[in-house]
Each structure stands twice: as C-alpha cells, then as structure tokens.
Amino acid sequence: MRRFFTPELDVDPDMIVKCSNCSTCRWTCTSYEEFHSEAYFAGGRLRLLRSYVEKKLPIDDSFVRAVYACSTCEQCVERCPIKVPYVRIIEDVRKKLVQEGKGPYGKLHVMGDMAFQHNNVYGEDPLKRGDWVKPDTKISDDSEWGYFVGCTASYKRPEIADATLRMLNYFGIEPQILGADEYCCCSPLIRTGQCTRPIYEELEDGDKELLGNLDVEKFILHNVEEIEKRGIEHLVFSCSGCYRTTTLDWPKYYRERYGILPFSLQHLTQFLALKIKKGELEWKSGYPERVTYHDPCHLGRHVGVFEAPREVLRSIPDMEFVEMERNRENSVCCGAGGGFKAGFGENAVNVAERRLNQALDTGATTIVSSCVFCKLNFLDAVKKRNVNIKVLNIEDLFISLMGLG
C-alpha cells in the first residue's frame, strides 16, 4: 500500500482512512464536552491529521494542543460504528511528535524528565517510595503475592496504598512491595507519547546538556525482572492506570523478546470480588447511604472490568447502590487520564465537576471509584468547586467498614 503520509506524521494509512467523519463519537467525548470545538474529538482530530498530512502542512502549536487535549478515555472507540482504533492512532501520533521534538504538549515533558532522573513522574526521592508503609501493617520479602503501588499512591495519595495493604493483610496476605525498586509503570509516559526521548539538562548559561535517553522498555523490563526475582506470582494493583498498562502495554514490550509475563495480574476490585464469591468476606458494618460507582476508563473500557467493583459494592449491607445514567461502557471519563490533567489542569477539574454532578443527579451522597487518578481529580473538584459529595475508593470503604482504618 502506498504510504501517503509525511515523515512528520507517519501513521498507518489503513487505520486513518477508516474514519468516516460521521461524528457519532462527538458529543460523548470528554474533550469535546469541555472545548466544544471539532478539533477536540476523535473524528475531528482524525480529520485534522488527515488534512495536515494530505496538505503537507507544517505542524503548529494548535495541532499539538488538539492532539494532547484528549484523555484517551476510549469513549469514542466504544461509540464508533467502525471501531476505528483512535486511541492507538493518537498515541502513535503523540509518539511521533515527541520523536520530532514537537511534543509533548506544555509541561508534560516534566513527567518524562522526572521519570528519567527519579524513576517516578513526580520527581520524588526514589529511595522514599516505600515510606508510606506504616508500622502496624505487614509486608514480607518472600510472599508469592506482590502489591504494585504506582507513583501516585506512593507519593501523592499514600492513604490508598495504606488501605490496600491493610485490605491484603486482612486476608492474611503480607505482600511484597518493591519499594525503591519499583519504577514508574510508564502509563503517563506511554499515554503522552514519551516512549523514547532524549533528556537534557538546562545549564545556567542557557545551554542544554544531554543526560541520556528515556526508554520505557527499560523501566518495564526492570519492573518485570524485580517482580520475577522476588518470586512474586500474583500482583495486585490499586491504580487502574498501572493495571491497564501492565495488562495491555507491558506485554507489547516484553512478550516479543521474553515471552509472557511470568506472573498474574489482578486489580484489587477483582481480588475482593473473588473473596466475596468464595464466601471469605463478611462485612463488619454497613454503609447506610446512597452510593454510585464511577467506572475508571482504564479499568472499565480499556480492560473490561465492569462487574467486579459492582459485585463488591452490592454486597455491602445497608448500601443503596444506584447507577449513573452513563455507566459501564458508556461511562463518562473523570478527566484525569492520558496526560489531560497534567496538561490541562483546570479543564480536567471541569470534567470531574460535571461527572460529580451526574452522580449527584442520582441522589447519591457518595461516589465510589477504583482508581487513584479518578479519586485525585474528583477530590480536586470537590475542593475547588465545592461539590457536596463524598469521594471514596473501594479500598477506603473496605478499611472503614472493616474497622481497619
């Protein structure tokens, strides 16, 4: 097939011509709802991409902005009659923009710089990655269970890491954690196209010095080796982003050369749902409130885990569980994913605020999710916009109802 794409934007032509521009994916799109412009939804971006390529237009800032103002939530792929693999395409475009030095957008490069220097995207001290572990909780160095904590829970929302560990301890599991040996799972890097990128240091005289090359494959291989070395067979996640990346992205980098991942993966909601199915969980108290569940895009649409968290919530005594109008496959994104929060902070909070209002429309007093990022963004919206709703993750509920908190 003749490739008619410019070297600047080399994406698979067979993929891109699939889009019919029918705009079915428009009004449900996270970024369209925020920006109300046709450059800001999947079909519009593909139209843009095609125009830039066919007309050989030079890449400008407005194109880069449009490409990055997407939370990669996959609501569009779900709606698309033709199932155009938009998120794959846009991630490729982002990769290309980074390679060409035109991306990532705004300050998103800081995540890559930090990951390169500190193994986490927040630039925190890598040696303090495991500092959240409290003395009354238990970890071990020989369990076949491991807990992959992720950068955000390790440094920004340690209460999530703590709650998850307490939950595992409750079931008699003293998991291994990798601590300083746990590197970023690479979700924020892959989503923003920073798979490989030269990293420079700005010198005082304004010059730049090359520090080395950021390469997500190295991070992934390191993590897999560390997990394998410790004999971990079952890896549990509290972060949906980490879980999605480990499930769908790691194998891409790992499998070709090394075969299948040498351990099993489960999200904590799947872990809990299994415990309930086996009759191993008896709630110690109820939650007498009206509760709704927000599907994290990475856990729901991306990996297909919709029912496990609902099974957990439905099993809680006294709880009145209600669905929001848009749920499961049609769930609305919270606005935190795909580098959207890092690149478009206030817009991401607007998106979260709208989702919280949808939760309030059901009469719910609590919105429960199962993703570190969703919780972070929802809490920002609660704080900045005074939305009157409680925001919890499933592990928070678990430890509070089981008297472990």
The binding site for another protein (CB under 8 A) comprises 1-2, 4, 14, 17-18, 20-24, 26-27, 36-39, 44-45, 47-48, 50-52, 54-55, 57, 60, 62-63, 65-66, 79, 81-83
Please select the residue that binds ligand SF4; options are 3, 4, 21, 36, rule is CB under 6 A. 21
Q: How far is the CB of 331 from another protein (least distance, A)?
A: 15
Out of another protein, ligand SF4, none, what residue 213 binds, judged by CB under 5 to 8 A for its kind, is none
Pick between residue 12 and residue 144 the one whose CB is nearest to another protein: 12
Q: How far is the CB of 104 from ligand SF4 (least distance, A)?
A: 15
Q: How far apart are CA 317 and CA 286, in angstroms?
A: 4
Please select the residue that binds ligand SF4; options are 17, 61, 82, 211, rule is CB under 6 A. 82
Please select the residue that binds ligand SF4; options are 5, 31, 220, 250, rule is CB under 6 A. 31
Near ligand SF4 in 86-105, by CB under 6 A: 86-87
265 strand-pairing partners: 235
| Segment contacting ligand SF4 by CB under 6 A, of 20-28, 95-103, 146-154, 365-373 | 20-28
Pick between residue 19 and residue 336 the one whose CB is nearest to ligand SF4: 19
Out of ligand SF4, another protein, none, what residue 248 binds, judged by CB under 5 to 8 A for its kind, is none
Q: How far is the CB of 12 from another protein (least distance, A)?
A: 12
- Beta strand pairing call for 264-267 and 234-237: parallel
Region of 32 please: left (phi>0), alpha (psi -120 to 50) or beta.
Answer: alpha
Pick between residue 82 and residue 127 the one whose CB is nearest to another protein: 82
Instruction: Answer yes or no: are the C-beta atoms of 361 and 327 closer than 8 Å.
Output: no
Instruction: Answer yes or no: are the C-beta atoms of 30 and 333 closer than 8 Å.
Output: yes
Q: How far apart are CA 56 and CA 276, in angstroms?
A: 57
Please select the residue that binds ligand SF4; options are 9, 49, 53, 84, rule is CB under 6 A. 84
- Burial of residue 38 (CB within 10 Å: 0-12, 13-18, 19+) is middle
Binding status of residue 25 toward ligand SF4 by CB under 6 A: yes
Q: How far apart are CA 228 and CA 219, in angstroms?
A: 14
All residues at 6 or more sequence positions from 28 whose CB lies less than 8 Å from its CB, including other chains: 75, 76, 79, 326, 330, 332
Pick between residue 62 and residue 140 the one whose CB is nearest to another protein: 62
Count of residues near ligand SF4 by CB under 6 A: 28
Q: How far apart are CA 111 and CA 226, in angstroms?
A: 23
Binding site for ligand SF4 (CB under 6 A): 19-25, 29-31, 41-43, 46, 70-76, 79-80, 82, 84, 86-87, 333
